Structure 1
Amino acid sequence: MSVNFFNNQFSRAENHHNIESLEERYDLIARILNAKMENEGLEEYQSVLDNEFLEFASGVDSLKEKEIALLMLQEIQKELQLVASYPSLFQKTIVAVGGGFSAGKSTFLNNLLGLKLKLPEDMNPTTAIPTYCLKGQREVLMGFSQNGGMVELPNLAFDHQFLKSLGFNLKEIMPFMLLSAPSAPFEFLCFIDTLGFNPANQGYMGGDKEASKESLKHAKHILWLISCERGELHKDDLEFLKELYEEGKQVFIVLSRADRRTKSQLEEVAIKIGETLEDNGIEFKGICAYSAKRYQEYKEFSEKSKVFDSLEEFLMKLNQRSEKQNEILGYLYEVHGMYERAIKQDASQFKRYQKALHSVKLDLMQKGFDDFNNDATFNKIHSLNKEFSEQERSKEENLARLNEVIGLFKESVDKVFDRVSAFTFEKYKEQNDDEANKREFEEIKKMALYFRDRSLFYLDWYELSEEEIQEQRENADYNDALLQLHYSLENLQTLREFKEEADNNYQESLNDEKLQNDLREWRDLRNRPVEENKREFEEIKKMVLYFRNRCMFYLDWYELSEEEIQEYREKVDYNDSFFQLDYSLRNLQTLREYKETNEKVYQECLNDEKFQNDLREWRRTKRR
């Protein structure tokens, strides 16, 4: 890249009021380009990735996710560059601040961290390069070069307007910045000021969507800012939050510009946003109101309100020294596990082939074929068996080589952190296998809960024979016993056997639309207080009594044909059968269906004044 190139680019923006001088800009870019990181651990990691790993991976064809594994190893390299460039960063828990443009992310961080060296603020999109903000000994803005080096930056606003004035994409040579400040209140937290997206139809600015996702990827915890002026969660936010939740991120919602709404309006907006998230299956850690102008007032309001949560409490729980080294090793061991499973699966397959050949050989011998030396079939079996045995042995060698390569990667990671971690692949497997087993345990328990509830539903909902009642009670007790099991490998095996036996029935039951609708109705009724259900039951019975009496009134009051008399007598009996029902959830549902069918006629009758007067007169004559 030549000096003439920069001069040509700078000439486009000589009048831009935010630019100091051509020399200063040239010096800045030259320093970024020349900044390099020299770190023995990083160099070793790169060497293992380019040589030992690629040589090993070329001999393993069965892993379908080879590209994913390579990308994960490259992501680890980026993380290590960050750690090597600013070692104290690895002690921090990363919290990303995300949200749409003009949600107030930079203003929020300036206030939260008490920054004197401000992040750029504006109602237009400002944050152009992701910035890491953390507590440090002095207030300074540093730039990370694409080579892994760091440079101290002048006090310029690195916003979209500044980047545009340069005439080329500065992010390509300086992908992110770091702002250190002694005023930051959280010793072990590092906040990322991420890029926002444009409103509605415009989406993200160019590559900013991917750049924002890249920044958010480095954080497990997300503060998502939404301007309270929007009044609700927009589609753009919702789609982004859904992706973050699916990636396992912990999200805390911050309603910014809280001073522009009344406090009751803020609570209404918060409730609406919470309901939208829950309706879309998105869990969140809390929601608070925030105002840059009246920070303390709205902080106290959030902490006292029943609707809002304390942001400070959420952040204080996160304010702990990060285990970044073990986190990175965890990603490395995830790649190890992917290859190990693929290789073991291949080895197991070749072992099965050998067993199958041995079985064929025994079958032939039983049929009288025993000339091992001269028979072509036996020779072919022997040849195949030898080939499969060699393939199995080759896979065992692959496993040994895998362990060596991962060991080299771990050594390089330990060098970057300047400490040897005790977190081994064996410990990783113990930890993750246990977590996976617990998830499986709880998933199968959901099936047991479903079957228990289904049996209780049958008992409440249907007219059953004594034998059927006994059967459903036993089923409910059996599934309830499974629900009482505590986690252990033995109990997990018990639940696995239960799942294997019941899975077909479970899937068929879930696909029965009418049954599922009835179950939902039953659960709604069962979850209501019994007294409420009984009150509703008695209220509908009053309607039944009304229709029964109306039919008796017709029989007494009017001249009817024989057919009409018969019809009204049948209606009296029909309504009387409902009136005789005793309380149960099934009978309550039956009366609900009765009410739904007759509600319109009932209201019309009640509004017919002449008819009501005649009915009252009839009742008086009946009482005489």
Structure 2
Amino acid sequence: MSPLDLKTNLSHDQLLERYQLLCKACSSDSSIDANLKSELAALEQLIKHDLVELTRKGCPDNITDILKAMDNELVRFREFCEFPSLATKSVVGIGGGFSAGKSSFINKLIGHKCLVAEVDPTTSMPAYVMKGQDETIQAINTNNCAITLTQAEFSSLTHEEKLIYGSQVGRMLKSAFITLPDFQWQNLAILDTPGYSKPEDQNWNERTDANLAKAQLNSANYIVWVVSAEAGVISEDDIKFLDSLDKKIPKYVLVSRADKRTEEDVPKIIELIKTTLANRGVNVIDVVPFSTRKRAKYSLEPVIAQMDAWNETLTVLQFAQNFKRQFLAYQSFLEEEQRLGNRRLHKLNRILTLADDDELTSDANDLIELVKQELQQLTQLKDNLASLNHVFFTKLKKIGDRAGVPLPEPNALELMDLKEIDLLGMLRQIREEQGLEEPIINPFADLFSQPINPKVIARILRRETPPDYGFDALMTGELFNQLPQLLRQAQPVDDIIKLLDEVK
């Protein structure tokens, strides 16, 4: 579209207001002090330059994911520095495809029409809504500075912005923060995310990439996924996207625009979505219908009850842990490469020991020298990574101290994902795979194989106790001497314990 095609028709005052908004969006004046800003710049240098340079000397196949995760975490950390109150909130990420009804749902939930329902996917930005003393709208621009917006300015960032105003301010803003005094959840922040799209989608843009939407939702503590009831099913793209999100994050599915379907259809749609997600291994808390129409019978009460439950759980800052996980992923790769290198070196030394041919010995020595050089490079790379890790977390802790938030470097043990192991189930699976039969166990098979007094055993099995056998006598007499053997051979042991209780 050329400038001549723009039908702005703005008055002088409107043009002046738009110009002032553009100036704010381009501002480089940060609300944080110069020292903190310098420390944040140093963190960014470590991630985007020093760490990248290190990867050129050796890195895992998923280094792009590691660097992207680092960068996304740094963006969230900058948001925390600009808006410290956000760090104390549990984030409820609202996700879904384009025009699924996410913003309309949030407006209805909070009782304010503060989010534009139909934003242009190429100019929309993630927006946080939370409780605050005053009703304010702030945003972070591409210079990582916080600016204040009026409701009118924020509402103007729609798909018609360029047509009406001849500008696209929304493309210069990274995220928005809305505070409301009457927001009912003290410990929650609602995150409205732009719809995701695929590269072949006509709506695709770097601001709407599925990876960006995934990063935003994976940063949340809880996820509400919105599906339009008009389709009658949950799309394959939605299922794949949900399955790609962090499995540890609780997920809740909301079926919007339920009033567009008949009352008979809605329960069937709900059940179909539940069954489909269960069959695909996507775990969700519940699937509930919803409509923004006042006369529709699909209320928000189930969602509000769920939000109330989430509000009871206080969040803990995870910046240090999330950064550390990425460093550990890189470190684990280097350690594995070292193990493989040492294994190759061991094999070559064995070959060299057994070789009696001069040419073979020479080739083995050349390979040994090559492997030693690789191991030396890996050791140097690991030392450089450890040094970078130390500098990074020293600076991170320093920033945390300035903000009054403890951000010490976590150790690897703290980040271990200790899961319960079903050992019995694993053994049964191995037995079935090997075609072994279920063992038949007779717990009393060898009860009398040892020279034990039969009278004592008979009394135990019949639960008979002689009149002169008190508990003290049992513990000091003949039965006491036989108990270890009985406990080793008799099954189940609980029966022996119950018997002793009765005797006592």
Of the candidates 111, 119, 125, which is equivalent to residue 115 of structure 2? Answer: 119
Is 2:134–2:181's contact at 8 Å kept on the other side of the alignment?
A: yes
Structure 1 residue 410 and structure 2 residue 410: aligned?
no
Is 2:397–2:408's contact at 8 Å kept on the other side of the alignment?
A: no
Instruction: Tell me the distance in 2 between the aligned counterparts of 1:168 and 1:10.
Output: 13
Residue 80 of structure 1 corresponds to: 77
Of the candidates 333, 340, 346, which is equivalent to residue 342 of structure 1? Answer: 333
CA shift in 2, pair 1:168/1:218, >3 Å:
farther
Is 2:8–2:163's contact at 8 Å kept on the other side of the alignment?
A: no
Query: What whole-Å deviation, never above 9, does each CA across 1:542-567 have from its counterpart, x for those lacking one?
Result: xxxxxxxxxxxxxxxxxxxxxxxxxx
User: 1:235-314, aligned counterparts within 5 Å?
Assistant: 235-244=236-245, 249-259=249-259, 265-294=265-294, 298-299=298-299, 310-314=302-306
Cα distance, 1:234 vs structure 2: 3.9
TM-score by length of 2: 0.71
Instruction: Tell me the distance in 1 between the aligned counterparts of 2:233 and 2:69.
Output: 36
Is 1:197–1:209's contact at 8 Å kept on the other side of the alignment?
A: yes
- Bigger mean CA offset, 401-410 vs 291-300: 291-300
CA shift in 2, pair 1:342/1:241, >3 Å:
closer
CA shift in 2, pair 1:296/1:257, >3 Å:
closer
Residue 45 of structure 1 corresponds to: 43
Structure 1 residue 109 and structure 2 residue 110: aligned?
no
Q: CA RMSD in A?
A: 3.9
Of the candidates 38, 55, 58, which is equivalent to residue 57 of structure 1? Answer: 55
Residue 159 of structure 1 corresponds to: 158
CA shift in 2, pair 1:164/1:90, >3 Å:
farther
Instruction: Tell me the distance in 1 between the aligned counterparts of 2:13 and 2:239.
Output: 41
CA shift in 2, pair 1:70/1:239, >3 Å:
closer
Instruction: Tell me the distance in 2 between the aligned counterparts of 1:120 and 1:410.
Output: 39
Structure 1 residue 426 and structure 2 residue 408: aligned?
no
Instruction: Tell me the distance in 1 between the aligned counterparts of 2:52 and 2:98.
Output: 42
Is 1:146–1:174's contact at 8 Å kept on the other side of the alignment?
A: yes
User: 1:70-469, aligned counterparts within 5 Å?
Assistant: 70-115=67-112, 118-121=114-117, 128-156=124-152, 157=155, 158-196=157-195, 204=203, 209-210=208-209, 212-213=213-214, 215-244=216-245, 249-259=249-259, 265-294=265-294, 298-299=298-299, 310-319=302-311, 320-324=313-317, 326=318, 328-363=319-354, 388-389=371-372, 391-417=374-400, 418=403, 419-429=405-415, 431-432=416-417, 434-435=418-419, 438=420, 441-442=421-422, 448-450=427-429
Query: What whole-Å deviation, never above 9, does each CA across 1:73-109 have from its counterpart, x for those lacking one?
Result: 2222212221122111122222222234444322221
Residue 472 of structure 1 corresponds to: 437
Is 2:256–2:291's contact at 8 Å kept on the other side of the alignment?
A: yes
Query: What whole-Å deviation, never above 9, does each CA across 1:152-202 have from its counterpart, x for those lacking one?
Result: 11222122122543445434311222111111111121112223479xx97
Cα distance, 1:43 vs structure 2: 1.7
Instruction: Tell me the distance in 2 between the aligned counterparts of 1:110 and 1:26.
Output: 29
Instruction: Tell me the distance in 2 between the aligned counterparts of 1:428 and 1:166.
Output: 52
Percent identical pairs in the alignment equals: 19
Instruction: Tell me the distance in 2 between the aligned counterparts of 1:227 and 1:312.
Output: 19
Is 1:93–1:188's contact at 8 Å kept on the other side of the alignment?
A: yes
Instruction: Tell me the distance in 2 between the aligned counterparts of 1:126 and 1:390.
Output: 49
More RCO (CA 8 Å, sep 6+): 2
Cα distance, 1:292 vs structure 2: 3.1
Residue 28 of structure 2 corresponds to: 35
Unaligned runs of 5+ in 1: 1-7, 303-309, 370-374, 459-470, 478-624
Q: Give the counterpart letter for 1:170 in structure 2.
A: V
Is 1:128–1:163's contact at 8 Å kept on the other side of the alignment?
A: no
CA shift in 2, pair 1:13/1:178, >3 Å:
farther
CA shift in 2, pair 1:86/1:341, >3 Å:
same
Cα distance, 1:345 vs structure 2: 2.8
Cα distance, 1:131 vs structure 2: 1.6
Is 1:163–1:169's contact at 8 Å kept on the other side of the alignment?
A: yes
CA shift in 2, pair 1:41/1:264, >3 Å:
farther
CA shift in 2, pair 1:228/1:67, >3 Å:
closer
Query: What whole-Å deviation, never above 9, does each CA across 1:394-421 have from its counterpart, x for those lacking one?
Result: 4334323222211222223333433343
SS in 1 for 2:281: coil
Is 2:90–2:189's contact at 8 Å kept on the other side of the alignment?
A: yes
Is 2:93–2:220's contact at 8 Å kept on the other side of the alignment?
A: yes
Instruction: Tell me the distance in 2 between the aligned counterparts of 1:47 and 1:127.
Output: 28
Cα distance, 1:42 vs structure 2: 0.9
CA shift in 2, pair 1:113/1:10, >3 Å:
farther
Residue 16 of structure 2 corresponds to: 23
SS in 2 for 1:321: coil
User: 1:435-584, aligned counterparts within 5 Å?
Assistant: 435=419, 438=420, 441-442=421-422, 448-450=427-429, 472-474=437-439
Unaligned runs of 5+ in 2: 442-504
Instruction: Tell me the distance in 2 between the aligned counterparts of 1:383 and 1:124.
Output: 62
CA shift in 2, pair 1:147/1:427, >3 Å:
farther
CA shift in 2, pair 1:402/1:414, >3 Å:
same
Query: What whole-Å deviation, never above 9, does each CA across 1:567-588 have from its counterpart, x for those lacking one?
Result: xxxxxxxxxxxxxxxxxxxxxx
Cα distance, 1:389 vs structure 2: 4.6
SS in 2 for 1:134: strand
Residue 67 of structure 1 corresponds to: 64
Instruction: Tell me the distance in 1 between the aligned counterparts of 2:238 and 2:67.
Output: 31
Moved runs in structure 1, 4+ residues, more than 6 A?
A: 123-127, 375-384
Q: Give the counterpart letter for 1:288 in structure 2.
A: V
Instruction: Tell me the distance in 1 between the aligned counterparts of 2:349 and 2:431.
Output: 47
Cα distance, 1:237 vs structure 2: 3.7
Is 1:10–1:22's contact at 8 Å kept on the other side of the alignment?
A: no
Instruction: Tell me the distance in 2 between the aligned counterparts of 1:267 and 1:87.
Output: 43
Residue 445 of structure 2 corresponds to: none
- Considering only CA atoms, is the larger Rg found in Structure 1 or Structure 2? 1
Q: Give the counterpart letter for 1:314 in structure 2.
A: Q
Is 1:10–1:166's contact at 8 Å kept on the other side of the alignment?
A: no
Residue 496 of structure 2 corresponds to: none
SS in 1 for 2:47: helix
Residue 447 of structure 2 corresponds to: none
Is 2:321–2:410's contact at 8 Å kept on the other side of the alignment?
A: no
Instruction: Tell me the distance in 1 between the aligned counterparts of 2:120 and 2:171.
Output: 22
Cα distance, 1:377 vs structure 2: 7.7
CA shift in 2, pair 1:293/1:126, >3 Å:
farther
